[in-house]
Structure 1
Amino acid sequence: MYNRQLTDLVRQMTLEEKVAQLLQLTAHFHEGTESEGQVTGPMEEMGITESMVAASGSVLGLSGAQAIIDVQKTYLSQSRLGIPLLFMADVIHGFKTIFPIPLAIGCSWDLELAEKSAEIAAKESAVSGIHVTFAPMVDLVRDPRWGRVMESTGEDPYLNGLFARAFVRGYQGSNLKEEPERLAACVKHFAAYGAPEGGREYNTVNMSERNLREQYLPAYKAALDEGCEMVMTSFNTVDGIPATGNEKLMRGILRDEWGFDGVVISDWASLREMIAHGAAEDDREAAYRAIRAGVDIEMMTPCYMHHLPELIKNSHVDEALIDEAVLRILRLKDKLGLFDNPYRGADPEREREVLFSEEHRNVSYELAAKSSVLLKNEGSLLPLGSDKKIALIGPFAQSDDILGWWSCIGVKEDAVKLGTALEERLPAGQLLIAEGSSIHSMSSQQLKEAMETAREADVIVLALGENSEMSGEGGSRTDIRLPEAQLELVCQLKTLRKPLAAVLFNGRPLDLHGLLDKVDALLEAWFPGSEGGAALADILLGRINPSARLTMSFPQSVGQIPVYYNHFNTGRPLNPSKTEERYVSKYIDSPNEPLLPFGFGLSYTTFVYGELKLSSEGLTSEQPLKVSVSVTNTGDRAGVETVQLYIRDVTGDVVRPMRELKGFVRLALAPGESAEAVFTVTEEQLRYHHSDLTFASDPGKFQVFVGPNSRDTQEHAFRLI
């Protein structure tokens, strides 16, 4: 449908019909859903009438091909102009087939596989009738106390941007109208939602505009440059103004500066939350501020419905703003092909064929295998020998709570448990299982059983972690250690003086004291998804060589937070060789550096780096610099090494980070094989936001670092001429 036809359609709409297009309600409000008849209270409380529901433009949270077909059919039978509904959902890391949480996917450093996971999630969702996913979440995060760390790909703006692009490509494909088994993507949360004070959910965000532009905005921009169709506002303030009513952010940066002309949607009730923030006196003012900021769809509050008509009639709001918003929504519906086929993608038979298929589960398995990070392996305890009797002990030994907080319609009972997977792979009688403790408690009987089981084994594998409710939205924590019961279990089993390995299930980087120092090997599994148990069993038994690398630093303790690799220097930096000095920037009870650095991860093989080489000592805008290093697999099995390139601008108009990731190469090497990792550094990569917010590079000295993580690197210098 041409824009002219859509514009004509807007002209035919009454003001009330236009405003109703801006309203998003949950499926419960619509006839034909399972909750029909249960919404009288919410309708009265929100002041929503049946006529408003009948004219509303989109639905949140309904899935199932036949259910969506039924609601769409009923809706269209009552629609004066035949404008179809949009169906949206939180498809974060899988629909029915659940992939590892996004933080884990980031640790794979595998952009192609990340894109494939989004493509599969889109296919399963689309055949179930969904049109839009509220993903990817690209919020940069530096504080693991925040529960929604699990939804991000980490602390680095460059890497987050690459994953943002990959997810958008996977969800959307190249043409939504011609590819009905894709979804429109909605990048979130705009902006800086990942930087709440104290790591507390929904809390204040306060930073300079330069920091906002330098660290937090790039990943959103990357998603939009890839063609992302929608943007969701964040709950937090940006420069003292709630994002949902922030004209400078939404109109100034997003629309005017970046040229985004897609749909902007509020997060759940965030429009009305401007009142609690103290940025709006009432619903009327909240509606006024949000429409002026450019928010097109109001999710689950009725401020627009109740007040925009009156604001327009009193000339406080120009009706052209509503027309723009409606036109953007209609364009998206047209891009999805809904005017041609309102039931786009929804197919009950195809749904039964596609959802949780073997093909999709195989990709979930591969991604779980590539997302699990080996953090410690003293004495090469892992992989476990096939002749060893293994005691698997801990609350996650046979737990199906491995999908994570946002698991859409994934079913825990479908998840492959670690204990079950190991039993299938080991000879009868070789695996012994005991719960040992619950997540937060340990009975004397549980401990007795665990100790008896462990005494019969040659090696102990602990399956520990957080349950899914300990992270995710609303899951902020001040104490990010393992629960005391599990730490006590570790201490008790340590007394047996047997080899001790641990597998960790969690949604955030943890304070690992009491665990890392007591076990011989540690595998970070995160929440690994539907096939997690199978992938982890194959890593433990050596069928798969782990290759993942951390995309968030692990702190020494919660008192260090935020701790991240790309920090600034200070005027009194700590000299590592003079740690006794007092009047320098340091803690007196903790190292400055994280326990485990960004980019860190071990393998079952070993890699040796050759000499770092630069093609020149100078770089110009016309002549880039080639950086190379030879890497050799010196172990006895094939493995993947992720070679990372970091840059430091030694002197700037404003201080620059100690190092910044600018590239990486994943080398798959057979035993004894060597390969060269080659990087090209350009002048464009050296640009940054100056004190006046101009974006440019400065001539002068730079340092380049190359290595297996952000800490253990070789260094060379060059100059930008």
Structure 2
Amino acid sequence: MNNLDLQKLLDEMTLEEKIDQLLQLAPAFFEGANSAGQITGPLEGLDLAVENVRRTGSVLGVGGAEEAIHIQEAYLRHNRLNIPLLMMADVVHGYRTIFPVPLAMGSSWDVELVRQAAAIAAKEAAVAGIHVTFSPMADLTRDPRWGRVMESTGEDPWLNGQFARAFVRGYQGEGIANEPYKIAACIKHFAAYGAAEGGRDYNTVDMSEWMRREFYMPSYRAALEEGCEMVMTSFNTVDGIPATGNRRLMRELLRKEWGFDGVLISDWGAVKEMIAHGVAEDEKECALKAIEAGVDIEMMSSCYPHHLQELIASGAVDVQLVNEAVMRILQLKHKLGLFENPHRYADSVAEREILLNEQHLAAAHEAALKSSVLLKNERNVLPLAKDAKVALIGPFATSDDLLGPWSCMGKREEAVTLAAGMLGVADPNTVTAIGCGVEHIPDEELAAMVEAANSAEVVVLALGEDSEMSGEAGCRANIQLPDRQLELVKRVRALGKPLVAVLFNGRPLDLHGVLDEADAVLEAWYPGTRGGAAIAELLYGEANPSGRLTMSFPHSVGQVSVYYNAFNTGRPKDDPNAQVRYVSQYLDIPNEPMLPFGYGLSYSSFRYGEAALSSPLIRAEEKLLLTVTVTNVGERAGSETVQLYVRDIAGETVRPMRELKAFRKIMLEAGETKEIEFEINEPMLRYHHADLSYKSDPGKFEAMVGPNSKEVQALSFELV
């Protein structure tokens, strides 16, 4: 089927059929369904007729190949023109084989690993009947109170863009029509949802267009440049207008300026939510504003089917807007091959062979190894000796709650617990494992764990957040661990035993009471299906930690938002000529985060040689080379992530103190030295000016290289 055939099909459709193609519903509405899908918003008030459902264009959250096939077959029996349904789902960090959450995957600093994980997720989803995933989330995240930071890859716009591209390549390959088992990707949430006020879901965003373009937009655009097929609108306001009804944002910027011609979908119920926002009086006005903004698919509200026909009849809406939206949906269905094969790759027999297979599990295991970040290791407490008598205690000692939010069809009972992982690596007679609740730990349980710790040589505390404490609608004002967990840490610390804390969580935490008490701290995030096995290998030294943070860990929630690529002020704290009091500072805590962007330790130690630039000057058409040697001065092989930052000393608008521009992840044997070379060119020095033009300025710059954003060598150069 070509565009001429699609146009013929469109011409044959009634207005009612066209309008209902713009509707997306959960499986519970469809004949043949056996699940409700994942419910993330209200279901009431849709007031749809059977005919609306039978003409609906897409469904979200089907529960596997069998259900997808049954829904599609039942749907096509009633669809006059045999236009198949699109099946969509939140395949965020795996379908059935669950990988670490995206924030953890970002901490791997391994773009190819992320691509491979997305490719595996796509294969499993495709054989289960899914055509589109609502991923990647490229929102820039600077506020750990926001539960959805777990779904982002961090606080740096350039690095987020690299990962967004990798997710899209993994899901879509060289094209969803060209490779088997590929699905369409949907970038979200457009735009700037990561800046929701107070770190609270669904909340207001208010920032300048300059700020959006400079920091919040680049990662979305990177995904679109990679060929991402869909875009999802965000719940928040942009310039005082909810994104779902924001014509300037969607039609002028996304479609006209950026040239996006794919499908634009609302988030759950977001079209109708314009009433609550206070920009629409009723559903009719919601429908008007959404279609004028260019929203092609209305997810889980019914403003379009109830009111578009009336709006067109009155002349308030040009029917061409509906035709354009329907054509974009038909083109995606055509690209996916659904007209030729409505079931595409859905196959319940192949599903049993592909889901959770050994190759996929091995990849999830590798991802968990590379995503974990060693935050502290005093007295070389880690790695553990395999014959050491270990007390494994705490909420996550025996818990299978390791998949994290948005784990799609993952099953907790299939996750390898930390206890099972450690018993599989060490002598089982050496490990005593006792679990407990996350927030509520009775005195008798706490006493039993302290007693076990007192009988051990080493204590491993498995601490963290229940998965419901992060993710969508998982926002927290207090980002410390629950009080009873901190009490457990304090009680065990008093025993004087070597103490290791392993953290399972979906956000940067305020680690007071943990980082200062434990001898070693390993950030495991939500590590996925193979999490416990991978973490055990790290604890016992069968693998060497290599993760690096992509979000700063705050010293206190009062600092939030705190991030590495901040601006200087007119009264910087480090100004030697300033009066001590009258500088930009807190009186009670440092300005700096507890743990900086890019930070992470290893069982190896790395020494950086003196960095050098090939020239003190660079012209627009030239490139500058920065070289530095890195030596593994430890006793075992290890991986180091060498990071390059740049600072523009004086721009037309203020510039960050440092910006990540490149990195190299290298493996070094014990005693090995490698010379690392970075290329600096003029496009790396561009930024948005006051008139929103994107260009560089002649002048002075600093190039900085080091193991994280704080510990760097700085070298000066000039753009002439």
Measured in 2, the distance between the counterparts of 1:194 and 1:477 equals 15
Q: What's the secondary structure of 1:583's corresponding residue? A: coil
Q: Note the C-alpha offset of 1:454.
A: 1.0
Alpha-carbon shift at residue 358 of structure 1 (Å):
1.0
2:213 corresponds in structure 1 to 213
Shift of 1:4: 1.4
Q: Which residue in 1 is equivalent to 2:527?
A: 528
Q: Residue 375 of structure 1 aligns to a residue in which SS?
A: strand
Find out whether 1:538 has 2:537 as its counterpart: yes
- The answer to whether structure 1 residue 615 and structure 2 residue 614 are counterparts is yes
The one-letter amino acid paired with 2:77 is: S
**Count of residues paired in the alignment:** 716
The residue number in structure 2 matching 1:497 is 496
Once residues 271 and 618 of structure 2 are traced to their aligned partners in structure 1, the CA distance between those partners, rounded to angstroms, is 49
**For 1:288-342, what per-residue CA distance to the aligned partner results, in whole angstroms no more than 9, with x for missing partners?**
0110100000001110111111111111111111010000000000110001111
Contact preservation (8 Å) 1:245, 1:292:
yes
| Alignment deviations for residues 592-620 of structure 1 (CA, whole Å, 9 cap, x no partner) | 00000000000000001111110111111
Structure 1 residue aligned with 2:333: 333
Residue 456 (structure 1) aligns with: 455
Task: Look up the SS of the partner of 1:261 in the other structure.
Answer: coil
Matched, 1:581 2:580: yes
Q: Which residue of 2 aligns with 1:419?
A: 419
Q: Percent identity?
A: 60
Corresponding residue of 2:164: 164
- Quote the offset at 1:35 in angstroms: 5.7
Q: Measure how far apart 1:73 and its partner are.
A: 1.1
Tell me the amino acid that sits aligned with residue 107 of structure 1: S
Pairing 1:27-66 to 2, within 5 Å after superposition: 27-34=27-34, 45-66=45-66
Is the Cα contact below 8 Å between 1:180 and 1:336 reproduced in 2?
Answer: no
**Counterpart residue number, 1:430:** 430
Report the alpha carbon displacement of residue 177 of structure 1 after superposing the two structures with TM.
2.1
Q: Which amino acid aligns with 1:299?
A: M
2:409 corresponds to which residue? 409
Q: Partners of 1:678 and 1:239 in 2: how far apart?
A: 42
SS at match of 2:591: coil
Residues of 1 paired with 2:16 and 2:635: CA distance? 71
**What is the aligned partner in structure 2 of residue 19 from structure 1?**
19
Using the TM superposition, name which of 554-563 and 442-451 deviates more.
442-451
What's 1:291 paired with?
A: 291
Moved over 6 A (4+): 576-580
Aligned residue in 1 for 2:696: 697
- What is the alpha-carbon distance in structure 1 between the residues aligned to residue 179 and residue 63 of structure 2? 19
- On the 8 A contact 1:43/1:49 being kept in 2, the answer is no
Q: Which residue number corresponds to residue 186 of structure 2?
A: 186
Q: 1:3 to 1:664 in 2, by over 3 A?
A: same
Counterpart residue number, 1:598: 597
Which residue is 1:465 aligned to?
Answer: 464
Question: 3-state DSSP class of the match of 1:429?
Answer: helix
2: CA distance, partners of 1:76 / 1:386: 60
1:200-349 mapped onto 2 (5 Å cutoff): 200-349=200-349
Deviations 1:138-161 (A, max 9, x none): 100000000000000000000000
Question: Structure 2 stretches of 5 or more lacking a match?
Answer: none
**Aligned partner of residue 341 in structure 1, secondary structure:** coil
Equivalent position of 1:372 in the other structure: 372
**How far apart in 2 are the matches of 1:503 and 1:576?**
38
SS at match of 2:480: coil
Deviation at 1:665, TM superposition (A): 0.4
Q: How far 1:175 moved relative to its partner?
A: 2.4
Matching residue's letter, 1:621: A
Question: Structure 1 residues 405-414 or 446-455, which shifts more?
Answer: 446-455
Query: What residue is the counterpart of 2:713 in the other structure?
Result: 714
TM-superposed deviation, 1:515: 0.6
Q: Equivalents in 2 of 1:315, 1:19: separation in Å?
A: 16
Opposite residue 240 of structure 2, the aligned amino acid is: G
Q: 2:366 aligned with 1:396, yes or no?
A: no
The CA distance in 2 between the partners of 1:701 and 1:190, in whole Å, is: 35
Cα gap change, 1:114 to 1:558, in 2 (>3 Å): same
2:571–2:578: 8 Å Cα contact kept in structure 1? no
Tell me, in whole angstroms, the C-alpha distance in 2 between the residues paired with 1:133 and 1:430: 44
SS in 2 for 1:702: strand
Structure-2 separation of matches of 1:214 and 1:328:
29
Which residue matches 2:474? 475
Distance 2:531 2:577 in 1: 45
Separation in 1 of the partners of 2:706 and 2:448? 45
- Name the SS of the counterpart of 2:290 in structure 1: helix
Check conservation: 2:188, 2:220, Cα contact below 8 A. Answer: yes
Q: Hey, what's the Cα distance between the residues in 2 that align with 1:431 and 1:268?
A: 46
SS at match of 1:187: strand
The structural deviation recorded for 1:434 is 2.1
> Which amino acid is 2:453 matched to?
A
Is residue 95–residue 121 contact of structure 1 (8 Å, CA) maintained in 2?
yes
| Native 8 Å contact 1:176 1:337 kept in 2 | no
Shift of 1:45: 3.3
Q: Secondary structure at the match of 2:193?
A: coil
Q: Distance in 2 between matches of 1:33 and 1:540?
A: 44
Deviation at 1:519, TM superposition (A): 0.4
Other structure's SS at 1:279 match: coil
CA RMSD in angstroms, aligned pairs only: 1.3
Shift of 1:376: 0.2
Counterpart mapping for 1:98-117 below 5 A: 98-117=98-117
Distance in 1 between the 2:180 and 2:565 partners? 41
Provide the C-alpha distance between the structure 1 equivalents of 2:619 and 2:118, rounded to a whole number of angstroms: 39
Question: Could you say which residue in structure 1 is the equivalent of 2:146?
Answer: 146
8 Å contact kept, 1:63–1:130:
no
Aligned to 1:362: 362
Aligned residues of 2:96 and 2:124 also touching (Cα < 8 A): yes
CA spacing shift, 1:441–1:63, aligned 2, 3 Å? closer
Cα distance in 1 for partners of 2:63, 2:466 equals 26
Instruction: Describe the superposition over 1:391-435 as per-residue Cα deviations: whole angstroms up to 9, x where unpaired.
Output: 111010000001001110100010000011111221132111223
Task: Work out whether residues 123 and 182 of structure 1, in 8 Å CA contact, stay in contact via their aligned partners in 2.
Answer: yes
One-letter code aligned to 1:168: V
State TM-score, norm by structure 2.
0.98
Amino acid at match of 1:243: A
Per-residue CA deviations over 1:424-451 (Å, capped at 9, x if unaligned) read 221132111223x421122221122112
Tell me what 1:567 maps to: 566
Q: Distance in 2 between matches of 1:580 and 1:371?
A: 43
Separation of aligned partners in 1, 2:67 and 2:26: 13
Give the drift of 1:3: 1.1
Q: TM-score, normalised by structure 1?
A: 0.98
1:670 alignment counterpart: 669
Which aligned pairs between 1:635-646 and structure 2 lie closer than 5 A? 635-646=634-645
1:241-296 residue CA offsets vs partner (Å, 9 max, x unmatched): 00000011000110000000000000000000000001111101110011010000
Q: Distance in 2 between matches of 1:305 and 1:424?
A: 56
Shift of 1:178: 3.2
Question: How many angstroms apart in 2 are the aligned matches of 1:492 and 1:714?
Answer: 41
Distance 2:201 2:45 in 1: 26
| 1:63 CA drift (Å) | 2.6
Greater CA deviation, 699-708 or 54-63? 54-63
DSSP 3-state at the match of 2:45: helix
Task: Confirm or deny: 8 A CA contact 1:619 1:719 kept in the other structure.
Answer: yes
Q: Which residue of 2 aligns with 1:384?
A: 384
Q: Which residue of 2 aligns with 1:439?
A: 438
Find the aligned partners of 1:186 and 1:341 in 2 and give their Cα distance.
22
CA contact (8 A) 2:538 2:545 kept: yes
Deviations 1:118-138 (A, max 9, x none): 000000000010100000001
Letter matched to residue 98 of structure 2: I
Q: d(CA) in 2 for partners of 1:654 and 1:579?
A: 23
